[in-house]
A and B are shown apart, each in its own frame.
Chain A
Amino acid sequence: MDKILAKKDFPQWLKKLVGSHTVYAPLPEGDIWNYKVVSDSADVNLDFLTTTVPPKGIIFPQREVFLEFQTSSGEKDETIEVKEVLPEDRPVAVFGVRPCDGKSFFLQDKVFGGDFEDPYYWKRRNLTTLVGLACSTPPSPNCFCTSVGGSPHSKEGLDILLTDLGDHYFVESLTPKGDKLIGEAKTLFPQAKPKDKKEAAGIHAEAAKKLSRQIKNLDKVPDKLKGMFDSPFWDEEAMSCLRCGICTYLCPTCHCFDLNDEVASSSPLKGKRVRTWDTCQFPDYSMHSSGHNPRPNKASRLRQRMYHKFRYFVDIHKNYQCTGCGRCVSLCPVGIDIIKVLEKVRDYGS
């Protein structure tokens, strides 16, 4: 059932949840916004454009402990105790998730699910309810969600979608988790009327037209890429790349990680196995232990990023691995623009 939530009642909803859930919402940090844990529900309003760090960090954290190990000297000999460290059982609610970031979870689910299910990711994913916020205007001048199969009101990956109707939100619950979260504060949610639904649909339709950047005929790109692997095109494009890693760290769909043992003491041996984010743009990402590096230069790494997102992922999962959020375009220090690169690929050789 579609519902309405008055904006002045929004902090009340959060207040009901803060006791039992860890609640994340976009909060200002200096001049930028980022998802932070909410302690005082009065601070939160959803009047933001977009966050710098995408919400992937809540379900796929920058640093995660997998297991702890330590040796203990028994009577006869030393044994190693290994203890798995799963995420804690507390449910999580994330507010203010833009549809592009919501879709990124839909794509990440394919990576961390499938034949092998990553228990750490899925524990968090199942405990988390994502409350989306539809875009009435493009949050970033570089948004291009409609070109990659998304939209300013897409529901994929989300559990609830809110649409801003001025002084109240139009609330659509999309999954049982969404129903449950709304149920925590049932009284704040009167039934929606047909005119509310119509108004929301109107906003959705208008929003899609306001996107200033689009890539036409993106579907030609995966095939075009097949013939371009050895082309000098990539050297040209990657000339100014700094291999800084910002594009991958702040991309909602990038998911590469590194596993390291952090040893606190060598004797007795005690430590943790930790997963951290990693990026294919660092030169030592693909370095073999023999010293050989199959991606020794920036051109090959930029090429890898394009291929992974627009060819390999399409072949395997039938989706572009990009949600069009525009963070990589806005934040690349030297202005390497993924939209321009894709347009050049599409038109290459013609």
Chain B
Amino acid sequence: MTKIEEIKATAKKLLEEGKVKYIIGYEQGTNGWLSNPVFIKKPEDVERFVWDPSCVHNLAKFLVDEKRRKSREKQPDKRPVGVIVKGCDSRAVIVLLQEKFINREDVFLLGVSCEQGGVVDDKKLAKKLGKKNAKKIELGDKDNLIITTEEGKLEFPTTELLAERCLECKANVPLIFDVLVGDKTQRPQDKPFKSLEEIEKLSPEERWNFWREQIEKCVRCYACRSACPMCYCDECVVDSINLAVAPDTSAEEKALKIRWLDKSTEKSENFVYHLVRAIHLAGRCIDCGECERVCPLDIPLRLLNKKLEKEAKLLYDYEVGCDVNQPSLVSSFKDTDPEDFIR
């Protein structure tokens, strides 16, 4: 069976047996993106599932939504939610489990490993196609991808279209799953943290100019925060009011709530927002690349978070999102932690 058939069969069986509330997967998109997240409740609807290198979304984000929804219901359905997870998504689920944000029994994971080792970066694809539009992506036999456009089919070597993060992927095969659908595929990993090489070569002034130019573009739409599965705080630092307000919160408490950031898109405010987000993601960001993908202004956010992922590894030998029982990076310490930077 090809993977998609196996996915549909497994999903159908789960829904028929009533083991899961619904299954989150991918379906054919409309003209915006090639595939979109879909929530399938009925066994006969599994025909809508698709699986191809355009399935880029990190579906672990919807587990956060599910938790919120359950907390609002008076008599919630206690069955788990089924999710189709790629390698990177499974690491996101591991981090959520590590932090005890969700329980293992709340989620049923259908693990799938990416054929040809990754998903397609839509911006790279758009560059290759110029003014043509992609309608479908299919796998070729010789480590290449076949793109169908309105003017016919085009072929490209896979490595030219894969997202940067896929070339450095540590987990082609999901690290946690209840059912593994399809074969385990492996792509030889490029040098780890290769995307940081260029920026690390720059001098501090050059780095500043690079980041200043990028961060000045930010319109503070907060799409990066909304797309990130790890940004699940109900009350975020940047929101201007206290979301956890209750009827008995006094007026004085509300007036004295500290506002750390202004809403304006001044360079300084944008920087503080992005720095705070990066530090809150230290040891938690698994490089799913969603923040960079959704940013409408093409700000290279992966490079910010990746730097701390690298430091976590170099300084503390900490691998993000690999082991459910591992404590989080900043709430643990070792006696041997380096302190050469301290006077």
Contact = CB atoms under 8 A, between A and B. Distances in A.
A and B touch in the complex (CB under 8 A): yes
A249 B219 contact: yes
A340 interface: yes
A242 B36 contact: no
B62 interface: yes
Given A30-B298, A244-B222, A245-B221, A141 B243 contact: no
Interface string B46-77: 00000000000100011001000100100000
Given A29-B217, A337-B30, A242 B254 contact: no
B39 A335 contact: no
A290 interface: yes
Given A31-B123, A53-B296, 15 more contacts: A29-B298, A30-B298, A212-B31, A240-B62, A244-B225, A244-B226, A245-B221, A249-B219, A260-B262, A290-B245, A296-B72, A297-B72, A329-B30, A331-B296, A334-B37
A339 interface: yes
Interface in B110-153: 123, 126-127, 131, 133
A52 B297 contact: yes
B31 A32 contact: no
Interface in A12-35: 29-32, 34
A62 B219 contact: yes
Contacts of A337: 30-32
B246 interface: yes
Given A63-B266, A242-B227, A335 B219 contact: no
Contacts of A34: 297
Nearest to A61: B265
A213 interface: yes
Interface residues of B, number: 50
A330 B133 CA distance: 12
Nearest to A276: B263
Interface of A: 29-32, 34, 49, 52-53, 62-63, 141-142, 212-213, 239-240, 242-246, 249-250, 258, 260, 262, 274, 276-279, 282-284, 287, 289-291, 296-298, 329-335, 337, 339-340
B259 to A, nearest CB: 8
B237 interface: no
Contacts of B131: 49
Nearest to B133: A141
A133 B246 CA distance: 52
